[in-house]
Structure 1
Amino acid sequence: MTAPLPLIHPILLAGGSGTRLWPLSRQSYPKQFSKLMGEESLFQASARRLSGPGFAPPTVLTGEDFRFIVVEQLAAIEQAPQRILIEPQERNTAPAIAAATQLLAAEDPQALMLVAPSDHMIPDVDAFTRTLRAAAPRALAGDLVTFGILPEHPETGYGYLELAPGADARADSPQPLARFVEKPDAARAAQMLAAGHFLWNAGIFLFTAVTMAEAFRQHAPDILPGIDAALAGAEPDLGFTRLAAAPWGALPDISIDYAIMEKSANLAVMPYASGWSDLGGWEAVWAEEGPDASGTVCTGAAHAIDCTDTLLRSESAGLELVGIGLDDIVAVAMADAVLVARKSDSQRVKEAVALLKERKAKQATQFPRDHRPWGWFESLVIGTRFQVKRIVVNPGASLSLQSHHHRSEHWIVVEGTARVTVDDTVQLVSENQSIYVPLGAVHRMENPGKLPMVLIEVQTGSYLGEDDIIRYEDVYARS
Structure 2
Amino acid sequence: MKIRPVILCGGAGTRLWPNTKNHQAKQFIDFGNWTLLGKTLERTKASIYDSPIISTNKKYLNKVKQHLRKNKINKYKIVVEPAKRNTAPAILSTALTKDIPDNQPLMFFTADHLIEKMSIFNKAINKNKSNLNKENIFVFGIKPKSPTSEYGYFLTKKIKGNINKVTRFIEKPNEQKAKQIVKKKGYWNSGMFYLRKDSIISNFKKYQPNTYRRCVNAVKKAKYKSNTYYLNKASFIKATAKSFDYAILEKTKEINAIKLDIPWSDLGSWKEILKMYDKNKNKYIKKKNVHFRPWGRYTNLFKGNDFLIKELFVKPKGILSLQKHHHRAEHWLVTHGNPKITLNKKSFFKKTNDHIFIPLSAIHRIYNPGKKPVKIIEAQVGSILKETDIVRYQDIYGRVK
Query: Does TM, normalized by the shorter one, top 0.5?
Result: yes
Structure 1 residue identity aligned to 2:190: A
Mapping of residues 163-178 of structure 1, within 5 Å: 163-164=156-157, 166=158, 174-178=163-167
Supply the distance in 1 between the matched residues of 2:383 and 2:133 (Cα, whole angstroms): 43
The alpha-carbon deviation at position 270 of structure 1 amounts to: 0.4
Mapping of residues 291-440 of structure 1, within 5 Å: 291=279, 303=290, 313-315=302-304, 323=312, 325=314, 338-343=328-333, 344=354
The alpha-carbon deviation at position 345 of structure 1 amounts to: 5.5
Equivalent residues of 1:19, 1:26 under 8 A apart: no
The alpha-carbon deviation at position 262 of structure 1 amounts to: 1.3
Structure 1 residue identity aligned to 2:124: T
Unmatched segments (≥5 aa) in structure 1 = 1-5, 328-335, 353-365, 369-479
Task: Name the SS of the counterpart of 1:109 in structure 2.
Answer: coil
Q: CA-to-partner distance for each residue in 1:389-427, whole Å, 9 max, x for gaps?
A: xxxxxxxxxxxxxxxxxxxxxxxxxxxxxxxxxxxxxxx
Task: Name the SS of the counterpart of 1:274 in structure 2.
Answer: coil
Equivalent residues of 1:290, 1:297 under 8 A apart: no
1:18 aligns with 2:6: no
Task: Name the SS of the counterpart of 1:148 in structure 2.
Answer: strand
Task: Name the SS of the counterpart of 1:260 in structure 2.
Answer: helix
Structure 2 residue identity aligned to 1:145: F
The alpha-carbon deviation at position 142 of structure 1 amounts to: 4.5
Query: 1 or 2 for the larger relative contact order (CA 8 Å, sep ≥6)?
Result: 2
- Between the aligned residues of both structures, percent identity stands at 23
1:35 aligns with 2:23: no
Structure 2 residue identity aligned to 1:9: R
The alpha-carbon deviation at position 110 of structure 1 amounts to: 0.4
Supply the distance in 2 between the matched residues of 1:322 and 1:175 (Cα, whole angstroms): 42
Supply the distance in 2 between the matched residues of 1:316 and 1:67 (Cα, whole angstroms): 20
Supply the distance in 2 between the matched residues of 1:31 and 1:221 (Cα, whole angstroms): 32
Query: Match for residue 79 of structure 1?
Result: 73
Task: Name the SS of the counterpart of 1:35 in structure 2.
Answer: coil
Mapping of residues 238-317 of structure 1, within 5 Å: 238-291=226-279, 303=290, 313-315=302-304
Task: Name the SS of the counterpart of 1:280 in structure 2.
Answer: coil
1:204 aligns with 2:192: yes
Equivalent residues of 1:174, 1:271 under 8 A apart: no
Mapping of residues 444-459 of structure 1, within 5 Å: none
Give the CA RMSD over aligned residues. 3.8
Mapping of residues 35-54 of structure 1, within 5 Å: 35-36=30-31, 38-54=32-48
Q: CA-to-partner distance for each residue in 1:120-163, whole Å, 9 max, x for gaps?
A: 01121212111211222222474211110001111111111111
Q: So what's the TM-score if we normalise by structure 1?
A: 0.61
Supply the distance in 1 between the matched residues of 2:165 and 2:71 (Cα, whole angstroms): 38
Query: Match for residue 90 of structure 1?
Result: 84
Equivalent residues of 2:332, 2:356 under 8 A apart: yes
Q: CA-to-partner distance for each residue in 1:294-353, whole Å, 9 max, x for gaps?
A: x99977886576689999643279x896846499xxxxxxxx96331344557899xx9x
Deviates more, 1:138-147 or 1:55-64: 138-147
The alpha-carbon deviation at position 180 of structure 1 amounts to: 1.0
Mapping of residues 104-253 of structure 1, within 5 Å: 107-140=100-133, 142-164=135-157, 166=158, 174-196=163-185, 198-253=186-241
Equivalent residues of 1:145, 1:267 under 8 A apart: yes
Query: Match for residue 346 of structure 2?
Result: none
Q: So what's the TM-score if we normalise by structure 2?
A: 0.72
Supply the distance in 1 between the matched residues of 2:299 and 2:251 (Cα, whole angstroms): 42
Supply the distance in 1 between the matched residues of 2:236 and 2:46 (Cα, whole angstroms): 33
Supply the distance in 2 between the matched residues of 1:320 and 1:48 (Cα, whole angstroms): 25
Task: Name the SS of the counterpart of 1:253 in structure 2.
Answer: coil
Equivalent residues of 2:134, 2:198 under 8 A apart: no
The alpha-carbon deviation at position 208 of structure 1 amounts to: 0.6
Supply the distance in 1 between the matched residues of 2:73 and 2:211 (Cα, whole angstroms): 32
Task: Name the SS of the counterpart of 1:10 in structure 2.
Answer: strand
Supply the distance in 2 between the matched residues of 1:135 and 1:58 (Cα, whole angstroms): 20
How many residues matched?
Answer: 330
Query: Match for residue 8 of structure 1?
Result: 3
Unmatched segments (≥5 aa) in structure 2 = 319-325, 334-353, 363-381, 385-401
Structure 1 residue identity aligned to 2:303: S
Equivalent residues of 2:299, 2:310 under 8 A apart: no
Task: Name the SS of the counterpart of 1:129 in structure 2.
Answer: helix
Task: Name the SS of the counterpart of 1:202 in structure 2.
Answer: strand
Task: Name the SS of the counterpart of 2:45 in structure 1.
Answer: coil
Supply the distance in 2 between the matched residues of 1:35 and 1:240 (Cα, whole angstroms): 25
Supply the distance in 2 between the matched residues of 1:206 and 1:278 (Cα, whole angstroms): 18
Equivalent residues of 2:8, 2:55 under 8 A apart: yes
Equivalent residues of 1:114, 1:205 under 8 A apart: yes
Supply the distance in 1 between the matched residues of 2:304 and 2:12 (Cα, whole angstroms): 19
Supply the distance in 1 between the matched residues of 2:190 and 2:331 (Cα, whole angstroms): 27
Supply the distance in 2 between the matched residues of 1:259 and 1:245 (Cα, whole angstroms): 21
Query: Match for residue 55 of structure 2?
Result: 61
Supply the distance in 2 between the matched residues of 1:184 and 1:347 (Cα, whole angstroms): 21
Task: Name the SS of the counterpart of 2:202 in structure 1.
Answer: helix
Supply the distance in 1 between the matched residues of 2:247 and 2:144 (Cα, whole angstroms): 25
Distance 1:320 1:83, change over 3 A: closer
The alpha-carbon deviation at position 84 of structure 1 amounts to: 0.5
Q: CA-to-partner distance for each residue in 1:235-269, whole Å, 9 max, x for gaps?
A: 13444211112222222221101100111111100
Query: Match for residue 103 of structure 1?
Result: 97
